[in-house]
Structure 1
Amino acid sequence: MKKNFGPLPTRYARSLFLAAKQGNVVSEVEKDLQALDETFSQYGEFTALMLNPGLSDEKLSAILTALSSKLNLHPVTRRFIDLLHEKRRLELLSTIPAYYHKLYLEDAGEIEAGVTTAIELDSAGKEKIQAHLAKKTGKKPLISWTVNPQILGGLVM
């Protein structure tokens, strides 16, 4: 997944987030975008097909409708994909999910963090680090823990 948030995908992701928030379906759209992102990551040829300039609008619309049905996408997400298709901006689907996820976490008062330690920490040690990050950021940290015996000691965040 690309994490380069240029102005265009950022603008589209914000608009989608506001529409989802207005419809009280922020979580549903988040799940939809994760499913789309996984689909595009797993099937690179599918992404290439969607971006093929030789593909007619009718065929592309049929493919997008089938994809929406297969993934059981929420109507807000479906309309958003239709908008991207209409504006010829489907390539933005590679970056929009990551930025939407960032907005989703921000709205929920959460932050993602990765912590690498030389040894496995007990639950008390993990709780201390979580409390420190929560105090420092003012948000609830969602930490992915990694053990790497090659670091000499301490931890890497």
Structure 2
Amino acid sequence: MNASLAKRYAKALFDLAREQGTLDQVEAEVRLLDEVLHATPELMDLLTNPAVSDSELAQLLKDSFGDMTAIVVNTLLVMVENDRAAEVRALPRYVRELINDYRGIAEGIVTSAYPLSATDLKDVELVFGQKLGKTLQLKNVVDEEVIGGLRVQVGYTTYDDTIETKLTRLERELLNA
């Protein structure tokens, strides 16, 4: 897979959706596309199989996703036509990233020792969202290795306020004192 190629197709799809005022619909459709591709690895196997002709792939995509908006279906068809079917897998992620950036939204993960309540999760989203200047959509992941505290990862930035990290810092300070 070539990420830069997938990003180009995602950018083209995003630009068209923005121009046509269909960002919400395209976002929902690429989420569905992502779910289908994850749930049926056989589909990706077909898309990347050189023995399957472009016309067969195009028909498969029309049959599978023909009820989606024309710009989504046409993007998929152009990708197949240009021998970029392998990049279809990454398309939903990059489209969602572009839409989220456009809307000032960032997705991330908050890791904790136990499941956070909806209220606690919202509080974490608000606090870290203010730090980043974005609206956060965090997914809570429970890690039994975390003794206490939280680790928040948004993009390439990690805020680690776990007890383990605090103890490690304290140990370093004591050793360097």
Question: TM-score per shorter chain, which class?
Answer: 0.7 to 0.9
- Between the two proteins, what is the percent identity of the paired residues? 25
Q: CA deviation at 1:109?
A: 1.4
Which of 146, 164, 177 is the matching residue for 1:151? 146
- 2:19 is matched with which residue? 22
Higher relative strand content: 2
Q: CA deviation at 1:127?
A: 4.5
Contact 1:134/1:140 (CA < 8 Å) preserved in 2? yes
1:7 equivalenced with 2:4 (yes/no)? yes
Between 1:126-135 and 1:44-53, the stretch displaced more is 126-135
Which of 55, 70, 90 is the matching residue for 1:75? 70
- Considering Cα pairs closer than 8 Å and 6+ residues apart, tell me whether 1 or 2 has the greater RCO: 1
Label 1:131 to 1:34 Cα distance change in 2 as closer, same or farther (>3 A): closer
Q: CA separation in 1, counterparts of 2:122 and 2:42?
A: 43
Q: CA separation in 1, counterparts of 2:74 and 2:118?
A: 44
TM-score normalised to the size of structure 2? 0.75
Label 1:153 to 1:16 Cα distance change in 2 as closer, same or farther (>3 A): same
Q: CA separation in 1, counterparts of 2:112 and 2:17?
A: 38
Q: Give the letter aligned to residue 89 of structure 2.
A: S
Gap runs ≥5 in structure 2: 153-177
Q: CA separation in 2, counterparts of 1:57 and 1:31?
A: 26
Label 1:51 to 1:118 Cα distance change in 2 as closer, same or farther (>3 A): closer
Q: CA separation in 1, counterparts of 2:114 and 2:61?
A: 47
Contact 1:5/1:99 (CA < 8 Å) preserved in 2? no
Which of 52, 57, 71 is the matching residue for 2:54? 57
Gap runs ≥5 in structure 1: none
1:48 equivalenced with 2:45 (yes/no)? yes
Q: Give the letter aligned to residue 56 of structure 2.
A: K
> Which has more radius of gyration?
2
Q: CA deviation at 1:134?
A: 1.6
Q: CA deviation at 1:5?
A: 7.2
SS for the counterpart of 2:108 is strand
Cα RMSD, aligned residues only: 2.2
Q: CA separation in 1, counterparts of 2:38 and 2:143?
A: 27
Contact 2:7/2:91 (CA < 8 Å) preserved in 1? yes
Q: CA deviation at 1:123?
A: 6.1
Q: CA deviation at 1:131?
A: 2.5
